[in-house]
Amino acid sequence: MRVLRLTGAVEEKVLASRRASSREAERIAERIVADVRRRGDAALFSWTKRFDRVTLTPRSVWVSRAELAAARKRVSKEFLAAIDHAARNIRAVARRQKPQEWTIQVEPGVRAGQRVRPIESIGCYLPGGRFSLVSTLLMTVIPAKEAGVREIVVASPQPGPALLAAAEELGVRRVARVGGAQAIAALAYGTRSIPRVDKIFGPGNRFVTAAKKLVSNDCAIDMLAGPTEALVLAARGNARFIAADLIAQAEHDPDAISLFVSTSAPLARAVAAEIERQLSELPKTNLARRSLAKNGAVLVAPDIAAATRFVNRFAPEHLSLPGGADGLLARIDSAGSVFLGDWSAQSFGDYASGTNHVLPTGGVARTRGGLSVSDFVKCISVQEVSRGGVSRLAPVVEEFARAEGLDAHARSVEVRK
């Protein structure tokens, strides 16, 4: 693991490393999306056979109720208990996040309020390639149900027993055996077999991300989630714990980014050495070794101000603040999810602490946080002006309307005087 001084040049190089987009992925995704939009099921099934080597029909594309029930019997009681435990925590956080309805009197005769309504239908995309992310099912379905979403469609290529058992446990009834860019296109535009949804949620590979970007003008999406990012900021802490967190996130993807930032050169060297030691204990096939060699670094900052400035510019998906976390947290303005103290492993957030693991990457945390119930609802503004309120507001509206040259706007309040 490289140990580098956090200079201006190094900072810019690290920030630039994740800006490159895959033109090839976008080109391929554009072709697939256009084909599914034009030919529907025929294209969806053709691309599925080509990429996943699975032959689908309008009937076999959907997992049956019997298969869902059977899957639940194929997994261990311990796994079902883990689902229930994690779901309970995720549900508790989701309920606290839900936007509330309210009404206030802005001034005499003028009331304003907010009504909260769920999105009617959503699609939850779950990767099924290198790893089948069962936990992502919980992270998307549970807040959707807490929001009151009526129709939830899950799409995942070749879903296994664990995923289907989790779907059954959560009461999900519609699981389609489709994945990749073709699944995103089907959810966005609809086919004879797959219904069109109002919004698509969930992470995927670069082709899925490219497809979500392409359809976003026609179908809402949660966010464009790129490769996993882990950053640990600490002047003191347990090198073994820090290394373990960086390695854990690095095994998600060969393009994952893992960074340790510290003002302590001795701790930096200790973490770098510990990473090498722990990597030697993992199977050679583990992706962490590859991604850390490509996108991992230990950065030694001259002072805490420089360190936190870099963190806020990078705006990491996962940010750990071990030893002395309280003081550092006040300096953090941009991060997807923060883990405080030595004992808060990032994996707790991935699965069971209750916070959502669908998080912004690529610097998007500068403008938004992770997935929450608010992503599954619409906040509708409501206003009511009484006859008495007209006399107070009409002069204001008339002034604005005339300044903007919108005479009909002014007339619409004048007729009410």
Residues 43-69, mean pLDDT to the nearest whole number: 96
Q: Say if 182 falls within a structural domain.
A: yes
Indicate if 82 and 215 belong to the same structural domain. yes
For residue 19, pLDDT beyond 70: no
For residue 409, pLDDT beyond 80: yes
Q: Say if 379 falls within a structural domain.
A: no
Indicate if 208 and 233 belong to the same structural domain. no
Indicate if 299 and 212 belong to the same structural domain. no
Give the gyration radius of the chain's Cα atoms: 25
The CATH number assigned to the domain holding 243 equals: 3.40.50.1980
For residue 18, pLDDT beyond 80: no
Which pLDDT score, from 0 to 100, does residue 280 have?
Answer: 95
pLDDT band with cut points at 50, 70 and 90 for residue 136: very high
Q: Which two tokens stand for residue 340?
A: 């405080």
Which pLDDT score, from 0 to 100, does residue 235 have?
Answer: 93
Task: Name the domain boundary from 176, 196, 221.
Answer: 221
Residue % of the chain over a pLDDT of 90: 90
How many domains does the structure of the chain reveal? Answer: 3
pLDDT digits (tens, 9 = 90+) for 353-364: 999 999 999 999
Q: Say if 393 falls within a structural domain.
A: yes
Residue % of the chain over a pLDDT of 70: 98
Q: Check: CB of residue 166 under 8 Å from CB of residue 194.
A: no
Task: Name the domain boundary from 313, 332, 354.
Answer: 354
Which pLDDT score, from 0 to 100, does residue 324 have?
Answer: 66
Q: Say if 371 falls within a structural domain.
A: no
Task: Name the domain boundary from 182, 197, 221.
Answer: 221
Indicate if 184 and 231 belong to the same structural domain. no
pLDDT band with cut points at 50, 70 and 90 for residue 374: very high
* Residue 59 structural domain: 23-100+119-221
| Mean pLDDT estimate for the chain | 95
Residues annotated as part of the active site: 317-318
What is the rounded CA–CA span in Å between residue 185 and residue 33? 5
pLDDT digits (tens, 9 = 90+) for 144-161: 999 999 999 999 999 999
Which pLDDT score, from 0 to 100, does residue 21 have?
Answer: 59
Indicate if 212 and 235 belong to the same structural domain. no
Q: Say if 369 falls within a structural domain.
A: no
The DSSP symbol for 100 reads: P
For residue 131, pLDDT beyond 70: no
Q: Say if 372 falls within a structural domain.
A: no
Indicate if 272 and 397 belong to the same structural domain. no
Residue type at 202 in one-letter notation: G
Residues 256-282, mean pLDDT to the nearest whole number: 96
Which pLDDT score, from 0 to 100, does residue 182 have?
Answer: 98
Q: Which position has the higher pLDDT, 123 or 324?
A: 123
What is the rounded CA–CA span in Å between residue 19 and residue 363? 9
Residues 309-315, mean pLDDT to the nearest whole number: 97
Residues 263-276, mean pLDDT to the nearest whole number: 97
Q: Check: CB of residue 97 under 8 Å from CB of residue 116.
A: no
pLDDT digits (tens, 9 = 90+) for 175-197: 999 999 999 999 999 999 999 99
pLDDT band with cut points at 50, 70 and 90 for residue 17: confident
HSE value, Cβ hemisphere, 13 Å, CA-based, for 276 = 10
For the chain, the distance separating the N- and C-terminal CA atoms, rounded to the nearest angstrom, is: 74
Indicate if 206 and 336 belong to the same structural domain. no
pLDDT digits (tens, 9 = 90+) for 26-51: 999 999 999 999 999 999 999 999 99
pLDDT band with cut points at 50, 70 and 90 for residue 130: low
Q: Say if 366 falls within a structural domain.
A: no
Indicate if 337 and 407 belong to the same structural domain. no
Residues 88-112, mean pLDDT to the nearest whole number: 97
Indicate if 204 and 341 belong to the same structural domain. no
pLDDT digits (tens, 9 = 90+) for 193-235: 999 999 999 988 889 999 999 999 999 999 988 889 999 999 9
Q: Check: CB of residue 157 under 8 Å from CB of residue 133.
A: no
What is the rounded CA–CA span in Å between residue 136 and residue 43? 27
| Runs of H (alpha helix) within 174-286 | 180-189, 206-215, 239-250, 265-280
